[in-house]
Amino acid sequence: MYRFISSRSKFLSSKSSVSTVSLCNHLSNSTNSADNKSQSNPSTSLPKLSGSSYQTQNLNGSPYFRRFNQNLSFLASKSGCNWFPSSGYLPNCGISDGNRSIIRCFSVEPERESIEYDVVIVGAGPAGLSAAIRLKQLCQEKGADLSVCVVEKGAEVGAHIISGNVFEPRALDELLPQWKQEQAPISVPASSDKFWFLTKDRAYSLPSPFDNRGNYVISLSQLVRWMGVKAEEFGVEIYPGFAASEILYGANNSVIGIGTNDMGIAKDGSKKENFQRGVELKGRLTLFAEGCRGSLSEKIIKKYQLREKVNAQHQTYALGIKEVWEIDESKHNPGAILHTLGWPLDKKTYGGSFLYHMKDRQVSIGLVVALNYRNPYLSPYEEFQKLKHHPAIKPILEGGTVIQYGARTLNEGGIQSIPYPVFPGGAIIGCSAGFINVPKIKGTHTAMKSGMLAAEAAFGALHEGSNLELYWETLRNSWIWEELYKARNYRPAFEHGLIPGMAISALEHYILKGKSPFTLKHGKPDHEATDVAQLHSPIEYPKPDGVFSFDVPTSLHRSNTNHEHDQPAHLRLRDPKIPELVNLPEYAGPESRYCPARVYEYVPNEKSQLKLQINAQNCLHCKACDIKDPKQNIEWTVPEGGGGPGYSVM
């Protein structure tokens, strides 16, 4: 395993990637505790990394910290490797003993390393970290010793985390009751709730259906970083920068872990000089916490027919696009919350906007567009740019600057779409299963609680001989289920348009209060909802002014998105002919518009014929393409670990 980590460090040393630093510290902390001796004449090319914490600087200057505690020493013992330097210097490039390269010697073995854990968790988001922390808490309470590993594709814990976010602390109160005393990044209580209906030129104030008393306006990426620190203090091993790309199955067809993807593969599939095999992380149980539309979670759901098992409907999704601005202090009102319906979306498209006042003169503004929209000419990105020019929104932003940009899909299917979450060898938790409360516009608290419930069931199965299927039972008896059952009719109420949706939602909220005798069903899956282009007229969007609205390259720069260019595209076409034969002539090439990062472009070839070009390096990992493509021809898979956005305040 040391060969795996150190070789990864060598591979990453050529990149300006934060994941390199995180790997350095994994090794540095384990080696500092392993031996107090110091090497004589250590190479000056090896960076000295001491202590148990480090500081990195993201692209917009916001520092953040994370600690790692003896991770690599445990991994090394698992894999039978005992060689560690004792100086605190990381061998992130070739190490020579005078006659040979130790790294090169260690790297000649082509087979994948295999490391065993009691529990492997895929994804260091709210659900995955809550599960990890709860498992370790139970170990302390019961005197047990279970090894828990969390693998995260982002370069840093929190780098891929984006949300509104008005945070309900209910689950956190249960998990870490002392979070206020332990300096959690939760400091701006909700101070006001406004709800507007927008037309092109007016904003009409409506009674707010939201009750955010006791909630907080936060950055979820910052909260997740803090949770990562807490998890490691409990003894959880977290490995950012490693993408789980493969599900491992045992002889009885049960899941026995995951495999990370190989590194150093060129676009043409050949192995580059820095090629390194992935690693197998095997667990007695595996929990998938990949977030909305998790690539491995979706395979698990299909393989074991988890939706069919409980007669769940298909999932339905929305795309959220968000910016964080720094505004004039005279306009800043910490804790103020605004939600809107209506313009710029048409009356047949479900969605709305939000504007939350954070700390430090920051506001988060975003637009959420349901992906069952019909018009293939609609561009969620351009609709968001229009929103910022509304006469009720523009004055708030005037004189401000954009700090960060990002986008992510969210699942809105509610209780109708939750699959059976347990499969042979593990469970699905958080947004991979889909626990967002749509009328609350919240899913972090439910994701965290689902992770905690899964952890308790996993601990019982591993330590006490009970059954992991208790997760499903406790989930249905929890406050998650109670919340989602009451909220079940809000989202499908909008299948027939904005006005009928608002009427049914008002009935549900003010009169029936979630106790209606019926349960509405969702309409078509999002990809089937797209009309052919001839039923609609092209939408002419205004050009960005560079002050309130921006072109995609400018926004991408603010997302800190980065991928290794010379690697196979992680966005794969099941049939390479469909874009030119179906999507372009029938749907006017919708992938060039639903993607908020301009990953997909139709460009003329030498014969002046339009061909689909995939700019995979732009990808924000939002998963919209995997959901909205009319023929489900695009498969989103993980790129090399550490690639993607680098969110710090989202």
Query: Is there a catalytic annotation at residue 622?
Result: yes
Q: Is the pLDDT of residue 585 over 70?
A: yes
Q: What is the pLDDT of residues 96-115, one digit of tens each?
A: 333 323 333 344 446 889 99
Give the H or E element holding residue 7. Answer: helix 2-12
Gap between the Cα atoms of 264 and 378, Å rounded: 38
The residue annotated as part of the active site, out of 20, 31, 107, 163, is 163
Give the H or E element holding residue 27. Answer: helix 18-34
- C-alpha torsion 73→78→79→81, nearest 10: 40
Q: Tell me the average pLDDT across 201-216.
A: 96
How confident is the prediction for the chain on average, in pLDDT?
Answer: 86
CA distances from 554 to 275, 385, 560 (A): 33, 13, 11
Name the band, by pLDDT with cuts 50, 70 and 90, for residue 81.
very low
Sign of the CA dihedral with 174 first, then 295, 369, and 481 last: negative
Identify the CA nearest to 641 among candidates 9, 3, 72, 175. 9
Confirm if 451 and 126 have CB atoms less than 8 A apart: yes
Q: Is the pLDDT of residue 445 over 60?
A: yes
Query: Is there a catalytic annotation at residue 139?
Result: no
Identify the CA nearest to 117 among candidates 78, 96, 147, 141. 147
Confirm if 616 and 570 have CB atoms less than 8 A apart: yes
Query: Is there a catalytic annotation at residue 408?
Result: yes
> Angle at which helices 126-142 and 220-233 pack, to 10 degrees?
20
The residue annotated as part of the active site, out of 6, 20, 444, 549, is 444
Confirm if 406 and 160 have CB atoms less than 8 A apart: no
Gap between the Cα atoms of 473 and 478, Å rounded: 9
Q: Is the pLDDT of residue 556 over 90?
A: yes
Identify the CA nearest to 571 among candidates 643, 503, 497, 646. 643
For 455-484, what is the HEC assignment?
HHHHHHHHHHCCCCCHHHHHHHCCHHHHHH
Query: Is there a catalytic annotation at residue 81?
Result: no
What pLDDT was estimated at residue 514?
85
- pTM for the model: 0.86
The residue annotated as part of the active site, out of 87, 147, 625, 648, is 625
Gap between the Cα atoms of 573 and 388, Å rounded: 34
**417 Cα distance to chain centroid:** 19
Query: Looking at residue 261, what DSSP letter applies?
Result: P
Q: Tell me the average pLDDT across 109-133.
A: 93
Q: Is the pLDDT of residue 41 over 70?
A: no
Q: Is 589 helix (H, G, I), strand (E, B) or coil?
A: coil
What pLDDT was estimated at residue 97?
36
Gap between the Cα atoms of 625 and 595, Å rounded: 7
Query: Is there a catalytic annotation at residue 149?
Result: no
What share of the chain has pLDDT > 90, as a percent? 80
Q: Quickly list DSSP for 61-89.
A: S-EEEEE--SHHHHHHHHHT-----SSSB
Gap between the Cα atoms of 356 and 337, Å rounded: 5
What pLDDT was estimated at residue 497?
87
Gap between the Cα atoms of 432 and 291, Å rounded: 5
Gap between the Cα atoms of 468 and 254, Å rounded: 13
Confirm if 487 and 414 have CB atoms less than 8 A apart: yes
Q: Is the pLDDT of residue 17 over 50?
A: no
Highest mean pLDDT among 106-110, 535-539, 604-608 belongs to 535-539
Gap between the Cα atoms of 39 and 24, Å rounded: 17
Q: Is 262 helix (H, G, I), strand (E, B) or coil?
A: coil
Q: Is 192 helix (H, G, I), strand (E, B) or coil?
A: strand
Q: What is the pLDDT of residues 262-275, one digit of tens each?
A: 999 999 999 999 99
Gap between the Cα atoms of 381 and 510, Å rounded: 34
What share of the chain has pLDDT > 70, as a percent? 83
The residue annotated as part of the active site, out of 408, 488, 491, 558, is 408
What pLDDT was estimated at residue 36?
36
Query: Is there a catalytic annotation at residue 592?
Result: no
Confirm if 324 and 358 have CB atoms less than 8 A apart: yes
Confirm if 445 and 169 have CB atoms less than 8 A apart: yes
What pLDDT was estimated at residue 110?
61
Strand partners, 239: 151
The residue annotated as part of the active site, out of 19, 491, 595, 648, is 595
Q: Is the pLDDT of residue 42 over 90?
A: no
Q: What is the pLDDT of residues 380-405, one digit of tens each?
A: 999 999 999 999 999 999 999 999 99
Query: Is there a catalytic annotation at residue 625?
Result: yes
Q: What is the pLDDT of residues 329-342, one digit of tens each?
A: 999 999 999 999 99
Q: Is 639 helix (H, G, I), strand (E, B) or coil?
A: coil
The residue annotated as part of the active site, out of 147, 379, 622, 648, is 622
